[in-house]
């Protein structure tokens, strides 16, 4: 029997084991993270080595620099995750890794490290989608949360509304036709001279500002479940350039508040439309932009009015982390995910369902 055949037998046994501990690796962008998660819900440790300070001076993530820093960090982060959980590799049942979506070189570091570990330790290797991982972060933050629910996925690379029918079965309802919402936050922040990553800075400035600027753009997708953010982004960029050309100062708090207001309005309107249409009474938000305080505030009040339960990840699990990959891996494994073989490679994109 080859490695995969042996490991598929092990996975069958794991499906009926009471306690399953998965060591999970995330390296899709600029965070090297390793976590140990028990039964998909309990985080025994989650170590995150962020490269934000390294990429700040470039104004955004430089893929090659990210890959090199993942290589430098991954072994220490893994050892630290084991140490913090007071466990050794013997206590681990399976290795999980993000294979996509993300930066190819960055993903490859995690994928190859995970393959090496799985082979050396003779443990099953589980290949996990980063996007599904973001959704699963909510199973950690909300111990009783179960599908079905509508999910608003808002990250640096994706924006979508999904019907999450079960832990592993997703239906795509709508998605962005151009920029992802996080990407749009980052670009607008950059044009105003705010440091990377821009989303959190816009969130902060918006609190001091007034949403009093009308960024005129065509709302081409009104009435659909799809999003377009490039029109809003271009309107802000044109506004800032125009002010600069006239030698006028820009009001960062007001621009931030006005931009954020438009984006949050677009996200909220379409998500609530999907909720109403589906008849489901549960809304789950996932991805880095779930950390946005105004989005949280707006969804909280709208969901209250509609009697919809709202679930958002704890702040520390909104952005990239290994724990969400471990949570997702557990439910995928329980529902029949087979062991990845050593042909597993990284993918810069993965299907949303």
List of residues contacting Zn ion (CB under 5 A)? 155, 320
Place of tokens 């996990």: 128
As a whole number of angstroms, the distance between CA 13 and CA 27 comes to 29
Question: In this complex, which beta carbon is closest to ligand KG4, that of residue 54 or of residue 87?
Answer: 54
Task: Please identify, using beta-carbon distances, which residue of 7 and 151 lies nearer to ligand KG4.
Answer: 151
Q: Which does 33 bind (CB under 5 to 8 A by kind): Zn ion, ligand KG4, none?
A: none
Partner from Zn ion, ligand KG4, none binding residue 199, C-beta < 5-8 Å depending on class: ligand KG4
CA quadruple 114, 135, 287, 232: dihedral positive or negative? positive
164: number of CA atoms within 13 Å, CB side? 27
To ligand KG4, the closest distance from the beta carbon of 35 in angstroms equals: 15
Closest CB to ligand KG4 among residues 179, 332? 179
**Which does residue 30 touch among ligand KG4, Zn ion, none (CB within 5 to 8 A, set by kind)?**
none
Chain centre to alpha carbon of residue 36: 18
186 vs 320, beta carbon nearer Zn ion:
320
Give Cα 245 to chain centroid, integer Å: 37
CA 201 to chain CA centroid, nearest Å: 18
HEC per residue, 240-269: HHHHHHCCCCCCHHHHHHHHHHHHHHHHHH
In b/e form, how buried is each residue of 312-339, taking b as 16+ CB within 10 angstroms?
bbeeebbbbbbbbbbbbbbbbbbeebbb
- Give the residue closest to Zn ion by C-beta: 320
What's the rounded Cα separation, in Å, for the pair 97 and 102?
A: 12
Q: Tell me which residues touch ligand KG4 (CB under 6 A).
A: 29, 134, 155-157, 182-183, 185-186, 197-200, 203, 287-289, 291-292, 319-320
Q: How far is the CB of 155 from ligand KG4 (least distance, A)?
A: 3
Binds 147, which of ligand KG4, Zn ion, none (CB < 5 to 8 A, cut-off by type)?
Answer: none
292 binds, among ligand KG4, Zn ion, none (CB under 5 to 8 A by kind): ligand KG4
Is the Cβ of residue 78 or residue 129 nearer to ligand KG4 in the bound state?
Answer: 129
Q: Least CB distance from residue 317 to Zn ion, whole Å?
A: 11
Least CB distance to ligand KG4 at residue 255 (A): 14
- Least distance CB 107 / Zn ion (angstroms): 12
Q: Which is nearer to ligand KG4, 69 or 319 (CB)?
A: 319
Q: Where are the beta strands (DSSP E) in 131-246?
A: 149-154, 159-164, 170-175
């Amino acid at each position: 029997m080859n490695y995969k055949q042996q490991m598929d037998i092990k996975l069958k046994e794991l499906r009926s084991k009471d306690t399953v501990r998965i060591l999970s690796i995330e390296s899709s962008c600029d965070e090297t993270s390793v976590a140990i998660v028990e039964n998909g819900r309990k985080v025994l440790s989650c170590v995150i080595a962020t490269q934000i300070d390294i990429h700040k001076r470039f104004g955004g993530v430089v893929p090659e620099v990210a890959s090199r820093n993942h290589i430098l960090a991954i072994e220490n982060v893994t050892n630290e995750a084991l140490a913090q959980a007071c466990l050794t590799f013997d206590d681990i049942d399976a290795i999980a890794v993000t294979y996509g979506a993300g930066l190819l070189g960055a993903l490859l570091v995690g994928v190859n490290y995970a393959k090496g570990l799985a082979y050396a330790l003779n443990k099953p290797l589980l290949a996990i989608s980063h996007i599904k991982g973001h959704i699963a972060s909510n199973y950690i933050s909300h111990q009783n949360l179960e599908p079905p629910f509508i999910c608003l996925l808002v990250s640096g690379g994706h924006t979508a509304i999904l019907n999450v029918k079960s832990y592993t079965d997703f239906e795509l309802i709508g998605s962005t036709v151009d920029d992802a919402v996080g990407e749009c936050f980052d670009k607008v922040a950059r044009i105003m001279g705010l440091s990377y990553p821009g989303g959190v800075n816009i969130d902060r400035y918006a609190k001091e500002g007034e949403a009093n600027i009308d960024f005129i753009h065509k709302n081409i997708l009104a009435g659909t479940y799809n999003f377009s953010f490039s029109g809003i982004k271009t309107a802000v960029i044109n506004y800032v350039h125009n002010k600069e050309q006239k030698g006028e100062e820009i009001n960062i708090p007001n621009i931030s508040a006005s931009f954020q207001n438009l984006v949050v309005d677009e996200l909220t309107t379409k998500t609530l439309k999907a909720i109403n249409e589906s008849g489901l009474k549960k809304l789950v938000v996932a991805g880095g932009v779930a950390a946005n305080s105004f989005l949280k505030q707006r969804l909280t009040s709208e969901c209250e009015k509609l009697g919809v339960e709202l679930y958002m990840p704890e702040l520390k699990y909104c952005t990239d982390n290994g724990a969400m990959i471990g949570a997702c891996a557990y439910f995928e494994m329980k529902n029949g995910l087979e062991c990845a073989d050593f042909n597993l490679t990284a993918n810069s994109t993965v299907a949303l369902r």
